[in-house]
Amino acid sequence: MLKKMEIVLIGSFLLLFFVNSCLAADKYIVKIASVVPETQSQHIALRDFFKKYVEEKSGGRMVVEIYPNGQLGGERQAIESVQLGTIHMTVTALAVLSGFEPRFQVFDLPFLFKDKPSAYKALDGELGDKLNQLLPSLGIINLAFAENGFRHITNNRAPIHKPAELKGLKIRTMENPIHMASFRALGANPTPMSFGELYTALQQKTVDAQENPIPLIYTTKFYEVQKYATLTGHVYAATTFLCNDTWFNNLPKDLQKIVKDGAVLFRDEQRKLTEAQDKEMLALLKQSGMQINELTQAEKDDFIKATAPVYEEFSKSVPGGKDFIELARKNSH
């Protein structure tokens, strides 16, 4: 009788172990790296929409962990980690991704898009699809294009109204050839560095100026170390929601769909949040004492004219560059 009980207990234990093992094997931890603070729209949309959607729709089979504030490294490091599979996903500036695939630099061309709807049409349409096809060979895929918004210049020297006022200004840029070429064309001295180092560099006057969208200028408290902001809107800054190609393709089909749908939800909600934060945080920057000036159309035309040679440079240095420019313009109107 005892022997029979032992067999039953052992059998029950093995069955429980098997069930638990299956459940553990069917549970997916999803690590997402980000450099932005928790107050920025990207983090809010990841937390409140992507994470919530994926965990609920998967019935708890997927658990999303978000690491903001550059906890897992800068944007370039995050992309490299996604390539290696040590991190599953990252949301990163498209300008950083272009360091891995130069043809993405087309989106960094100055004054390419007149407004956000034009940018969305190009990103979510034929141009975005064509560029996304280049990524699997790098071990990554792009689930969606979200945004940081239009980039503007802040500095400590004076308000800026014309390109000549940028002459000799040491401005931090991303490690992006088009961004750097654009500011050289304007007479500035572009200095690439990691976003995580920027506040200290401004504080210590290692650089005089920087350029970023309004929500990032506010949430990273650049108003504490910068006096003037000029609403140049020189580049529309998109972001990419990247994930490891092998990891994604090895997910069960139903979970792949949940991740894809969650990424589109993230994109749509994050764009709405950014639009709201643009208005709210511009007002807060003014309240903080930052002096803000907007370019007239005539002033902006001078900037457009000064940076026009960058288009020719891109056409010559990037394979198929001219075709991508034409596709961007066609798809944005």
pLDDT of residue 308: 95
pLDDT of residue 154: 98
| Tally of domains within the chain | 1
Is the pTM value of this prediction over 0.75?
yes
Does a structural domain hold residue 8?
no
Does a structural domain hold residue 12?
no
pLDDT of residue 20: 41
Does a structural domain hold residue 328?
no
3-state helix, strand, coil in the chain (%, to 5): 55, 20, 25
Angstrom distance (rounded) from CA 67 to CA 175: 22
Does a structural domain hold residue 263?
yes
Does a structural domain hold residue 215?
yes
**Bridge partners, 322 (sequence order):** none
Does a structural domain hold residue 228?
yes
Does a structural domain hold residue 300?
yes
Neighbours of 66 (CB within 10 A): 19
Neighbours of 43 (CB within 10 A): 23
> Which segments of the chain have a pLDDT < 70?
1-25, 331-333
* CATH code at position 207: 3.40.190.170
CA separation, residue 247 to residues 31, 32, 58, 241 (Å):
12, 13, 16, 15
pLDDT digits (tens, 9 = 90+) for 131-149: 999 999 999 999 999 998 9
pLDDT of residue 254: 97
Q: Which residue range forms the structural domain that includes residue 96?
A: 23-323
Does a structural domain hold residue 11?
no
